[in-house]
Structure 1
Amino acid sequence: MTQTAAPQETRNGGLALAVICVAQLMVILDATVVNVALPSIRDDLDFSLDNLTWVVTAYSLTFGGLLLFGGRTGDLFGRRRMFMIGIGLFGAASLVGGFATSEAMLIAARAAQGAGGAIAAPTALALLATTFTEPAARARAFGVFAAMGASGGALGLLLGGVLTDYASWRWALFINAPIGALVLFLTPRVLDESQGSGKKLDLPGAIAVTAGMSTLVYGLTKASTDGWDSTTTIVTLSIAAALLVAFILIEHFSTHPLMPFRIFADRNRTGAYLIMLFLAGAMFTTFYFLAQYQQNVHGWSPFRTGLGFLPMPATIMFMSIVVVRRLIPKVGIRPFLTVGPLLAVVAMISMSRLEPDSSYWQFLGSLLLLGLGMGCSFVPLTMTAVNGVAPHETGIASALLNTGQQVGGAIGLAAFGTVFAHGADDRFAELGARASTAVGQHEVFVAGQQDAFRAAIVVAVLALVSSLALIRVNKVAPPTPAATPALAAD
């Protein structure tokens, strides 16, 4: 039996929401916070160019690989307990990373951060879903939570730029330690524990999916640097496919599956996962290319680059917290899951038209369009992912949404990175000797970027198609203990 949600609402709801959302922001933010600090990290620790990418990849590798495992542990062993373990690991790893004196030490710390995040992120959403069940409070809570998740990447660029320019890249990691300690202090005071499901952990399934997801993220990362036709990419992705097929077979025959396939029986939930997958590919591509566009083409500093992105998370927060969460109880989620992807399509079209001499206002217009689209999408996506799920399965349902975001971002960067490279090479050949000049280099970069965003238009269109084809639910309901017996047959 799982604990009912009613007693939890009598506790300090505002502080409980703050604790969950700060933890979510901290985990999402760290996926991009070191991006603008990479040149400083390279100089300080004498990183090689090949190993420098692992400062980012090590985090995404363990985060993406362990998400399903992390979400399921909350369902089995108690969400609050696993949430605190995840935050504790994340904070401790951040502290170690801040003190790093070598390549290996920093990369290992970033990997440990990702592992902590993989436990904390899905359990945070599961805690939110079972803590806030009253419709108005639930809409507000999901609005704030979705705003943190959607804007975390852009805020990471800003925070990384500020800390790198005015303090040190190390503070981009140090800052997580006191925040994590505060979250750990408040969590048992404002959040109730859920009882575990009493089932055994599907260890073979956990090993297969963790190895498969980690190998998949690694293969996609190598594809973006080595190309899709390289031996490393082909072998790695083949191994990932074999491991994930093995995982599906294990789950089919397991009496206590890590990922019950009935989670996908709801077309709306499956639609939410697909929409998140596609939108994440477009969004992370934006962070990656436009941050370089402003620094390499327009000569902006890391701080100014982060500041230039600020209107985007501000727009996402305004839409999520002020507009969408208030209108969802009145108009439902379907209108927002149509308008959101549609705005993302328009944003990708706008970004594909940026030129070397484009003004900041053109850049800003593209960001605002994407911010509006993401602000419309993330609240209903988050609510749909856990809609009608039994309380003892909210962890795995939310983990799948996080997995869609992480894998979507990895696929997007790999695929669009390859498109970028081909576009840049073609332009380089066209320019001839002029390609070695500063102006020529800017033209080469922008040509590759334009091709990448043209490809991203297709992905945004797929998000829109997924919404129109699969989303049918309009009103959402909280997970209820009454649903547990019918859904817990496995």
Structure 2
Amino acid sequence: MPPLPRVVDVLVHKRLSLTRKLVLLAMLCLAQSLDSFNFAALFSAIPVLDISMGMTETQSTWIFSASQLTFSSFLLISGRISDVYNPKIAFVGGVFSLGILSLCAGFIDTKIPLITVRAFTGIASSMTVPSALALLVKVFPDPLEQARAIGFFGCSGAIANIGGLVIGAMFVQWASYHWVFLFVAVVACPLALVCVFIIPSQIGETADTPEPEGAKWKNLDLVGVCILTVAFILFMFAVTSGSTDGWKSPMVLVLLIVSTLMVVSFFYWETLLPVEKAAIPPRTWFYTNFSVLFAVALLPFFWWNTMMTMFSTMWQNVFHWSVISTAVHMLPMGIVGLALSFFTGSLSRIFSPKWIILVGLSLCMIATVLLALGGGKPENYWPYVFPAFSLGTSGMLLTYSLANIAIFQAAPSSMAGTVGAIFNGALQFGSAIGLAASSSIESSVEAAHGGSQEYTGRAATCWFLLGIVALQFISISIFYDRSTNHKSQPENPDLVQHSTKSDEKIGDVDKLASIVEIHS
């Protein structure tokens, strides 16, 4: 017999006022913004940190990489916790931990403790994203409302990515790099306290007979999660080390091989478990459009972070622009992102996500060509770089937001935390691979053509990016099935055979919800 509808989720949704739902959306978007700010603001602080702590270029890379490594590696286990337990607990705990760890980082003046705290910060951030997405799916169960909410959620992170660069530059220029960390603490701790009261405690419960809390851990698939987590840690460590120490290093090669074998072992292990106990059931990849959307998720952070790293470094080290000037010249990304955030979710109600993603990729290709041709001279900023940043950000934001919306429509809502972890893991995975590949291409071309003062290496990176975007365009054109727009995947495929009974149960739920509303 198929599982009963999620009565409590429906009741909670019906009892929440529009004002409370909007406040919840704002809180969740603010948490997403903090995660992005925590990464982007450090771009402006790294040169000062290098001098203040006597760090080498390789060591300063780990200020970024330590957080990125743990964030991407612990996404899956945090997603499973959000699905098996109440996502409110994971979200509030993650935001509060982020605030406390950032407070500690603000008072550290030595490199090893700072890198260590940054690694733990990545774990805290990984707890907030899947749980926030799980909460969004439960608060906005209607597909169209859900699309709009997820669109705002995704755009908030993209906007904070640029806002963090500007605010971080202001702290570094006029205060101290310590405030890059303290600012996160000042926002995160009160946010966690507010969310304790604003998020309904019943939001993760079901009307079915719940499992005892002590038995829920059996559904976490600890063996599979641990295998994949360790595999990601080893892989991300290898990629980060390879970009700084060289890809021919024996340690890098061994770690890449071991991590690949562990990923294969994970997928084999998942086939041995019952569907309800697997961290990522094998059938997940066969949900309509799920795999192709996972591939699309590899691109946005890859493009954004490559461009931000490449141009912020060139503008400061080659053009000798100030930190503030560099951040201001990045503003088109943030302004365009803010403008688009108001209607990206609504676009999915009018057009197929397939066509919007294709438009986004087309804009990105035009932007990448402009940067490859004219990004190497200060006087080319307005005719080439400014329109490229505006078009590229528009394209990547459309691609990112609509892929984010569509992937939640491809899988059942009971997997929201896991789907959020998979999607955000793909974003980080693509960023890590992309940055490593881009830096390798840039370095090798520069070595053959006169060093970093020349634009040849950066132009080669842009042409490489163009090839990746074109490949994504072809993949979406061929493999994306647009016949399932606005349709959520059922919790259990067998439900299709029992639609009449399910409709009767849902009708009973609506009646019960009405009674609750009257009495409340």
Q: Give TM-score scaled by structure 1 length.
A: 0.91
Q: Does 1:113 align with 2:121?
A: yes
Letter in 2 for 1:449: R
Indicate the SS of the match to 1:130. helix
Q: Does 1:20 align with 2:41?
A: no
Indicate the SS of the match to 1:277. coil
Decide which of 95, 105, 108 is 1:97's aligned counterpart. Answer: 105
304-313 or 152-161, larger mean C-alpha shift? 152-161
Q: Which residue of 2 aligns with 1:402?
A: 424
Indicate the SS of the match to 1:300. coil
TM-aligned CA distance change 1:263 to 1:6, over 3 Å: farther
TM-aligned CA distance change 1:476 to 1:20, over 3 Å: farther
Any conservation in 2 of the 1:297–1:356 contact (CA below 8 Å)?
Answer: no
Distance in 2, matches of 1:472 and 1:6, equals 33
Q: Does 1:287 align with 2:308?
A: yes
Decide which of 221, 235, 256 is 1:202's aligned counterpart. Answer: 221
Distance in 1, matches of 2:147 and 2:54, equals 48
Q: Deviations over 1:248-277 (max 9, x none)?
A: 122221332111122211231222111110
Decide which of 380, 385, 389 is 1:363's aligned counterpart. Answer: 385
Letter in 2 for 1:316: G
Gaps of 5+ in 2: 496-520
Distance in 2, matches of 1:459 and 1:230, equals 26
Decide which of 52, 65, 79 is 1:57's aligned counterpart. Answer: 65
List aligned pairs for 1:220-235, cutoff 5 A.
220-235=239-254
TM-aligned CA distance change 1:469 to 1:172, over 3 Å: same
Q: Deviations over 1:155-178 (max 9, x none)?
A: 222222111111111111111112
Letter in 2 for 1:483: E
Offset, 1:358:
4.1
Decide which of 450, 454, 463 is 2:463's aligned counterpart. Answer: 454
Q: Does 1:33 align with 2:41?
A: yes
Decide which of 324, 340, 352 is 1:319's aligned counterpart. Answer: 340
Decide which of 117, 129, 141 is 2:149's aligned counterpart. Answer: 141
Decide which of 397, 412, 415 is 2:437's aligned counterpart. Answer: 415
List aligned pairs for 1:42-441, cutoff 5 A.
42-192=50-200, 193-195=203-205, 198=211, 199=216, 200=218, 201-255=220-274, 256-322=277-343, 324-353=344-373, 354-361=375-382, 362-428=384-450, 441=452
Offset, 1:211:
0.7
Any conservation in 1 of the 2:221–2:279 contact (CA below 8 Å)?
Answer: yes
Q: Which residue of 2 aligns with 1:438?
A: none
TM-aligned CA distance change 1:238 to 1:336, over 3 Å: same
Offset, 1:280:
2.6
Q: Does 1:472 align with 2:472?
A: no
TM-aligned CA distance change 1:36 to 1:5, over 3 Å: farther
Distance in 2, matches of 1:149 and 1:475, equals 27
Offset, 1:397:
0.7
Q: Which residue of 2 aligns with 1:8?
A: 13
Q: Deviations over 1:197-251 (max 9, x none)?
A: 8542211111111110111111111221223222232112112112212211222
Any conservation in 2 of the 1:279–1:459 contact (CA below 8 Å)?
Answer: no
Any conservation in 2 of the 1:251–1:258 contact (CA below 8 Å)?
Answer: yes
Q: Deviations over 1:63-101 (max 9, x none)?
A: 111111111110011111111111122111111111113
Q: Give TM-score scaled by structure 2 length.
A: 0.86
Any conservation in 2 of the 1:333–1:474 contact (CA below 8 Å)?
Answer: no
Identity across matched positions, percent? 24
Any conservation in 1 of the 2:407–2:419 contact (CA below 8 Å)?
Answer: yes
Q: Which residue of 2 aligns with 1:432?
A: none
Offset, 1:282:
2.0
Distance in 2, matches of 1:326 and 1:422, equals 44
Letter in 2 for 1:352: A
Any conservation in 1 of the 2:58–2:244 contact (CA below 8 Å)?
Answer: no
Offset, 1:32:
2.2
Any conservation in 2 of the 1:338–1:464 contact (CA below 8 Å)?
Answer: yes
Distance in 1, matches of 2:30 and 2:273, equals 36
Any conservation in 2 of the 1:8–1:191 contact (CA below 8 Å)?
Answer: no
TM-aligned CA distance change 1:187 to 1:470, over 3 Å: farther
Offset, 1:185:
1.9
| Number of equivalences | 472
Offset, 1:382:
1.2
TM-aligned CA distance change 1:135 to 1:209, over 3 Å: closer
Any conservation in 2 of the 1:281–1:410 contact (CA below 8 Å)?
Answer: yes
Distance in 2, matches of 1:134 and 1:265, equals 23
Q: Deviations over 1:18-45 (max 9, x none)?
A: 0000001111222222122112112222
Q: For the pair shown, which has the larger CA radius of gyration, 1 or 2?
A: 2
Distance in 1, matches of 2:484 and 2:149, equals 16
Letter in 1 for 2:481: R
Distance in 2, matches of 1:478 and 1:398, equals 18
120-129 or 462-471, larger mean C-alpha shift? 462-471
TM-aligned CA distance change 1:373 to 1:455, over 3 Å: same
TM-aligned CA distance change 1:290 to 1:6, over 3 Å: farther
TM-aligned CA distance change 1:190 to 1:5, over 3 Å: farther
Distance in 2, matches of 1:184 and 1:279, equals 28
Q: Which residue of 1 aligns with 2:512?
A: none
Distance in 1, matches of 2:58 and 2:359, equals 41
Any conservation in 2 of the 1:205–1:258 contact (CA below 8 Å)?
Answer: yes
Offset, 1:355:
2.1
Indicate the SS of the match to 1:321. coil
Indicate the SS of the match to 1:30. helix
Gaps of 5+ in 1: 429-434, 436-440
Indicate the SS of the match to 1:72. helix
Offset, 1:312:
0.9
Any conservation in 1 of the 2:143–2:488 contact (CA below 8 Å)?
Answer: no
Distance in 2, matches of 1:358 and 1:247, equals 52
